Amino acid sequence: MTTPPSPENLSRREFVRTASLAASALAAGAASTAPAAESVKPPAPHPLLTKAADFQDVSRGNPKPHTLVGEALVQARLTPETWRLEIVADTFTSDVVKEPASLGKQFTLDGGNALDLPALIELGKKHSVKFLKAFQCLNIASPLGQGLWEGVPLREVLRLCGPMKNVRRIYYSGFHNNDPKQLFQSSLTYTEAMETAPGELPPFIAWRLNGDAIPLKRGGPVRLVIPWAHGFKSIKWLQRIAVTNDFKAMDTYANANNDPESHLKTAAYIDHAPEKFSAGQPIFFTGLALSGLSGLQRVEWWLHRVEPDAKPVVQDDETYAAAQWTPCELEAPPSDWSSVFPAGVSSKDVLGFDPKTGKPATWPLRYSMISWFATLRDLKPGKYEFRARAVDMNGFAQPEPRPIAKAGKNAVEVHKFEVA
């Protein structure tokens, strides 16, 4: 499934691009009057939290659930008061699956006991999860945004159902205008949902983003957040969970030739930058680096000077293979996380941070993104290509490990510019 381009979908990067363009323009303006080249200031890092409204939106549905208002929203059970979650046992059997899944207790609308938001919040008092996650769509080259999500582990919610039998997968879906054709669904294995290894990250049911209620557009009142996964696993407007003995992933994304078990990839992204610079000034490039499944060791850049009539550089050709890459500077962890996180949130309570010191256990945090910077000096007039790539903890440089078709985009980005 591809995402239709839409003008309302101004991505976080576009947003930041606009901001950094403004910064570059400022810098250029300052340069004309400033005596020393070094008076040009490098741009500031991207904010670690993307405002809820600034995420790039990837939503299906006609009408899209977040455009509903008034009575339609109430009928859809998408207000905090009307939201309900059903948890049922799927009756599926087949030639090879002889016995259906069963649950000690189901939660249904018909039975009058579907879970509501106060019940979740109550559960959250005992079992709370907070996690800083970069969102990325498997089909879109740049990340959608990064937020602090809060909720309760899926395993704690499933535990309310008592003994489970013959459960191999957890299927789940969101509001879909009560039209089977619009259903957007995803799944996890039983193990992924129930058995979180020490230091690992649990899938969780979230109702807060950046300290506020999750807005309707971001999938509120309640959405699922799967820390390691591309966006399609994190179902918005969550309404139904079915435990099943079907061993197959029935994810909507799998139908469109995507890998339904893809993990976020380690990768670097270049912010928008001017196409022309004046000689004699340092040139700053910036971007984001996402720490995916294999972690982030470093980000590095390569500058290629384009000689007149030279043949274009292609990934893996001789010029590319002989490239000299230089490490970029990475944004340091903030010394004061209270100025990053919403009021009342201590980093000691956020997954991925040391609960004693409140410092990040790894940097960048797993499945989050930070800014990188590169400063280029003394460039002679001419045409150039600037590339940036991430190197993961296994020593693989982007685009390695080569993405198989549809396991997440991972191309090395290039910015072409001229020094005059």
Identify which of residues 60 and 127 has a Cβ nearer to ligand MTE in the complex.
60
Among 221, 227, 231, 408, binds Mo ion (CB under 5 A): 231
CB of 81 to Mo ion, least distance (A): 29
* Token output for 91: 């009756």
Binding characters for Mo ion, 48-67, by CB under 5 A (x = yes): ----------x---------
Which of left, alpha, beta for 352 (phi over 0: left; psi -120 to 50: alpha)?
left
Partner whose binding site includes residue 219, from Mo ion, ligand MTE, none (CB under 5 to 8 Å by kind): ligand MTE
CB of 76 to ligand MTE, least distance (A): 12
Check binding of 184 to ligand MTE (CB under 6 A): yes
d(C-alpha 400, C-alpha 309), whole Å: 30
**Residue 114: exposure state from Cβ atoms within 10 A (0-12, 13-18, ≥19):** buried
Check binding of 235 to ligand MTE (CB under 6 A): yes
* Token output for 316: 């893996």
d(C-alpha 343, C-alpha 325), whole Å: 41
Contact 217, 66 (CB under 8 A): yes
Q: Which of residues 52-111 bind ligand MTE (CB under 6 A)?
A: 55-60
Contact 398, 323 (CB under 8 A): no
Torsion 400-405-409-414 (CA) sign: positive
Check binding of 407 to Mo ion (CB under 5 A): no
Partner whose binding site includes residue 144, from ligand MTE, Mo ion, none (CB under 5 to 8 Å by kind): ligand MTE
Which residue's structure tokens are 């409204």? 53
CB of 184 to ligand MTE, least distance (A): 4
Check binding of 237 to Mo ion (CB under 5 A): no
Among 171, 175, 232, 386, binds Mo ion (CB under 5 A): 232
d(C-alpha 258, C-alpha 23), whole Å: 38
Check binding of 218 to ligand MTE (CB under 6 A): yes
CB of 59 to ligand MTE, least distance (A): 5
Tallying the residues shown for the chain, one arrives at: 420
Among 77, 236, 240, 415, binds ligand MTE (CB under 6 A): 236
Identify which of residues 215 and 399 has a Cβ nearer to ligand MTE in the complex.
215
CB of 138 to Mo ion, least distance (A): 6
**Cis preceding-peptide flag for 282 (omega within 30 of 0):** no
Instruction: Give the pairing of strands 238-244 and 204-209.
Output: unpaired
Torsion 278-282-288-291 (CA) sign: positive
Binding site for Mo ion (CB under 5 A): 58, 137, 231-232
Binding site for ligand MTE (CB under 6 A): 55-60, 135, 137, 144, 174, 184, 218-219, 231-232, 234-237
